[in-house]
Structure 1
Amino acid sequence: MRFVASAGGAVALALAVVPMTPVQAASHNPDHENNRIACNAGALTDAINNANGKGGGTIELARDCRYPLTSTLPSIIQPITLHGGKGTSIERVSAGMFRIFEVSGDAGFLTLDDLTVKNGSSPDNGGAVLVGNGRTLLLKSVTLTRNRAAGNGGAVANVGGRVILRDSKVDKNSAGADGGGIHTDGGVVSVHSSAVNGNRATVGNGGGVASVGGYVTITHSNVDKNEAVDGGGIDNGGTADIQSTSVTGNRASGNGGGVRNTGTLVVGRSSINKNTAANGGGIYNTGNTWIGRSVIKDNTADTQGGGLWNNSEATVESSDIIGNETRDAGSQGGGVFNSAGNTVLTDSTVTKNQATDGGGIYRFGGAVTLNRTRVKDNVPNNCSPTNPVAGCVG
């Protein structure tokens, strides 16, 4: 499965990344069809215990099989690959609360390949998978769906480890706290050609992805239709690099319908569209944000900043802020609301946005700088208060 978002232009970026060991490739057994384990939970438990005892290995799961679990599986403490196939799933079927996998020990490295993990229910963190400090989870053509956690990480909770998604889906999971789909506290999360859609942080932040001091990269992916209090799609408190990705249709009851950033955020060649929030319908920034060759379009805020809300440092280059709105009476900054700090727009457009005042840009405080940027056709005016932004007319 492949999920690719379209956005125009090109961006060059260098960011420091925490050094990690290379990803371990899943081993492939040429006789795997003859070595698939039986379609029952006992066989799966025995196979994991056996692989742990032998220092790791590949377990071939039965095709067209649902492995029904009534308790959690053994912890993954060695490099282990579970290879499924058409119709293979691992599902919690009992009323008891338990997550499906935990990756721990000194050498825990879990690769899930071509299968579905469903209905995990953790009383704390990580409804489907909990990844321990320094450990790794690799998902290849995997669906994590309808898992839930009472705490953080409806599908995955990463505690200082590494989580890698390739051609995978994190779909319809929920958390009682932060990270309806994925929560990372330190460590690294890499999402490539994947979808994080329809997840919910019921009383917390980051409906799709929540990061606390970690490093998150999302490329050629979709983060759509997630819900949270703040950061409907993504709540970033660490460093996040979003490239060639769609963040669309997410909702926050508080701030940042698409993205709330309190750390360092880079957005390139991406679209932030049709998200909603009380403030900052597209992006709500209190950290450092750079946006390049991207589109912030058709987002909605109740009060301030339909497209972008900023009170720290925001740089927008070669991008379009178009068709955003604030809808409450007295609302401000349909395209951009600058509360404090600096917003710098270069070679960009702010057009066809709407608010009660400052349809294009509302500068409450701080500074807004326009470099070869057009602010036009906004309703009822382009900039407010009167002459707040050099080079902006009305």
Structure 2
Amino acid sequence: MAVGLGPLSTLHPVPGFELGIASAGIKRPGRKDVVVMRCAEGSRIAGVTTTNAFCAAPVLITRERLGGEVRYLLTNTGNANAGTGADGLARARRACARLAELTGVAESAVLPFSTGVIGEPLPVEKIESALQAALDDLKADNWEAAATGIMTTDTLPKGASRQFQHDGVTITVTGISKGAGMIRPNMATMLGYIATDAKVTQGVLQDLVRDAANKSFNRITIDGDTSTNDCCMLIATGQAALAEITEATGELFAKLKQAVFEVFMEVAQAIVRDGEGATKFVTVQVNGGGTHQECLDVAYAVAHSPLIKTALFASDPNWGRILAAVGYAGVAQLDVSKIDVFLGEVCIASKGCRATTYTEEQGAAVMAREEITIRIELGRGTCSETIWTTDLSHEYVKINAEYRT
């Protein structure tokens, strides 16, 4: 059950960007599992991809082609095309070549993306057979259908949209994402596509997508597993009647950055809210760190602890598990006598010990909520970091035990 995640809000079309969906029957007959996205000529695309050394064939090809002239993005679900070696690369290139042939662009102008089961040969013939239908379906207002088309174990489509005005011109930023399991930075299995009609140089766009991903997709975790296929693309079609953004300064860039960051954050947090089997949306906030990295180390130690995650599922305020995770996070010369821990607004531990004001009833009341904040005050510096995670339920085990059946 998705936590606090309802129907999609309005996803505004982005001038110069179209999406088309079709069924190839990769994993299940009739399922819409191929999505083609078309960018206007002159669009710029920047992106970030998984740090997993076993990255999938489409990730390798996308890395090769980013920065060049890109006109189409091709996504399939149901098959990750990862762990498939040279054959996987050949199959991904073949799918791109067929789409290029149908549209009259260079093969290098097509970026491939895949998500699904690892280690299985990509059924490229099925994908090829669906391409014309996806092209025939291309529409600027197809964001919601595309959000459904890229889903795997997701229970709901994920998307967000923002608009702002500058010099009387409306700028749009719209994005979709998918992911519910195998979620852990870096990148955070997930795919994200965010488009804007602003005109932005390649260097500024690449810095923007990296910064936005670091504060959103790279701050979420469900199960601690970094996927082989993670990709997040930021597309600038340049269709808005405004001057090109050439530097990360000025009012127009500030407005664009805020809109992009908001969309990134919303679609990233939607992945956590729809985490496999999740019943809780959990914010882990660490303050007072000596460095940002040690704050992240503590936050992830808490977020990845199976003992804490199962306690969250059971609504059990077993605060000793939180102290233990903070202690093994690897922070050098950690003075536990300075540490305070809060569940929501309730102080459960003060100066490294159970707070004198704390009662089990207070902790149980917080843990019964669907949305919980765990706040840790380290008392050793001025750095802070926040990440978002879930509990670990019976349903998570069931989904992943039956994933390939």
Same fold by TM-score greater than 0.5 = no
TM-score w.r.t. the length of structure 1 is 0.30
> Which protein, 1 or 2, shows the higher relative CO under an 8 Å CA cutoff with sep ≥ 6?
2
Structure with bigger helix share is 2
Structure with bigger strand share is 1
